[in-house]
Structure 1
Amino acid sequence: MDSTPLCNLHFVFVPIMAPGHLLPMVDMAKMFARRKVKVSIVTTTLNSIHFQASIDREIQSGSPIQILHVPFPWAEAGLPEGCESADAVPSMDLLSNFTVAEKVHEGLSYDEKFLVPGMPHRIELRSFEELEAEYVKEYERVTGNKVWCVGPVSLCNKDYTEKALRNKRNWSDEDRYVKWLDSWPARSVIYVCLGSLNRATPEQLIELGLGLEATKRPFIWVLGGAYGREEMEKWLLEDGFEERVKERGILIKGWVPQVLILSHRAIGAFLTHCGWNSTLEGICAGVPLLTFPLFSEQFLNEKIVVQVVENGVSLGAESVVHLGEEDKARVQVTKENVADSIEKVMGEGKEKQVFMERARNYADMAKKTVEEGGSSYKNMSLLIQDIASFKMP
């Protein structure tokens, strides 16, 4: 190894400005800083509110980590004042204003492959080898690049306080909801969240809600920044859904500290959009997953969960909901699909026990891999050493 001391290293993290992407990168930044290398997180003031308290706690513990604020030109981009996160964009029509860099792709085919000479391929860091061993080997073989699996990064949040501080922006009721969870038996509550960029139509969300109601099981449903929010609010008001389920269901219309909720003993299943961060967080929590992919790589993640890891049940979604084409999307998952899938992982049959045991095994595996001596812990050390010894050609 080169003689460059680790204290001279400086890692800079520039996360995508959306909570579901931002928070896992902050977790990764904390993991690096705990190895005593300098870390800077570059973001805007409003985005840092999500994790400022968490970073302050890291600094107090001696970690060399800081937040560097940069101004976000919302006015120049034609966005409302204070719109500094993708989930805060009031209309999907304005999302293209938020991601100006995407304009270089306009007019390009979605199907035609092309290669940028000299551009390194992506290296996935947030998984762990025991979950995707064969895929890691194949990726290294095909690309000729080294892959460092250093996750699951959410496990850097070990105690209640760390989990609660992980997303403090819109969450002031953690005690209230945790006490509500305390009132239910172990593994009895369904946690539902389709991500910060949820594109499901109101019609589809209504079917989802009716399916949850039909199970007669307790649930927490995070609507977040759902597409067609006004239509959904109208249905909730006129249909009386919240009143009917108030004894066993909670609807949260903001954002929650997902890792804190998932780690509660009462959670028995996680209905997820299969974003990779949420998928790993569900696996770490030791609960079966109910999969409802919407777009991007989420359908591939679903295959890993359902067909490879065998730690979940698909609700039956088959078509991608393209950005800007939400109105064209049909209802893919009926209330019957929802209720039947939930019963498979939470019913009284042997199938539930198989899912629960498999989920516990993967959770134990995930926890061991980030502990000292685990594969992800070792990979983090090797990654830092390799970067320290790197020399520009």
Structure 2
Amino acid sequence: MAIVVQKYGGTSLNSTKRIKEVTKRILEEKRKGSQVVVVVSAMGSSTDSLVEMSKEVSSHHPHHREMDMLLSTGEQVTSSLVALALQSKGAGALSLTGWQAGIYTEETFGDAAILSIDPRKIRAHLDQGKIIVVAGFQGVSENGEICTLGRGGSDTTAAALAAELQADRCEIFTDVDGVFTADPRIVKEAKMIPKLTYKQMQDLAEMGAGVVHPRAVVHAHRNNVPLFVRSSFDQQEGTRIDHFHEQTHVTGITVEKDLTHLTITVKEKTNIPEETSAALKVIEDAGIVIRRALFKEDLYSFSFIIQSKDVKQTCSLLQRRPWISKVSCENRSAVSVIFSHESLAFNFNNRLSKVLKTKRNGADIIFHRPRVWRVFVPDNELSRTAQLLHDVFIAKPNLSVSI
């Protein structure tokens, strides 16, 4: 009997009305003869509400363990409601927390990785004909601590369960029709992509395409589980991520907002290479991801780009370095061009440089990885840059570019 894992995000479950609609799709899959495992996120913006409540009761930076205890309840509420809705339709359904589902993680609060899954309980209930509804985004450490999986954690839960159960497919249901060549809210001409390789989807996800988490793609790829990104609001097939022959073309344009460019001015007679390397290591050891580092802009400064949410903690770490005289911040956004093949990225290098030199001043272009070019721009240039690159590389690839 085929096993199908379905994951539903918060927008698909933002009300009891939507939960009832989702149960229809779940039951439809069950009627086809499949064994069904459902992974759910917290309803709508309930996670944000929990975060706000934590701020109201705690004036200090909240303890990571207690935040995981708190935030994990959002998915548990949803899983119970979905199970109740299914039971009201006469279906056998059972909700499980992450630890009840046998999901074991490292003990890293807020961004834990899944270490292993014991599927025996899920398999036993599937064999009894039940639909299993698992609270996503969470697991349990060896010491019995509840640990959450970070942003997009329910995607990771679904793909990891699909891999462990050797599912026929894993479906990620969201509020968009599939994966697009760009964010359709920014680029109106963006087209849905019917098929992607795992590598293409991995690049898109890591560079800002928010439809599926990169870790979920890794789990699916390693275990050859076909991954589908579909809308929970219609019956469209969506985008299939699988093993396909790679076409030589530009896959898509992605954007990443809420970045900050920090420029560090140092005191005279500072050994910049040695001190900056040490400072950046301290920042990275704190779990802060450095998006871009420029080690030596001139004799007395260096800069790097991080997520804006990490600025306060980063500045606190830098204040401990006595050789720093000033730290300045500037908002930035990133636009990435994702190529399907490494050689294509090299071939389009000159074209990308010409486009940005002609149309955009102050764009910082970097060769991020073999299949990705990234462009850092001021926030007010994000939409125009994304539109321009989509025109030149996807919508109108034969467009003439002159300097």
Q: TM-score, normalised by structure 2?
A: 0.26
Greater relative contact order: 1 or 2 (C-alpha under 8 angstroms, separation 6 or more)? 1
Q: TM-score, normalised by structure 1?
A: 0.26
By percentage of residues, which structure has more strand?
Answer: 2
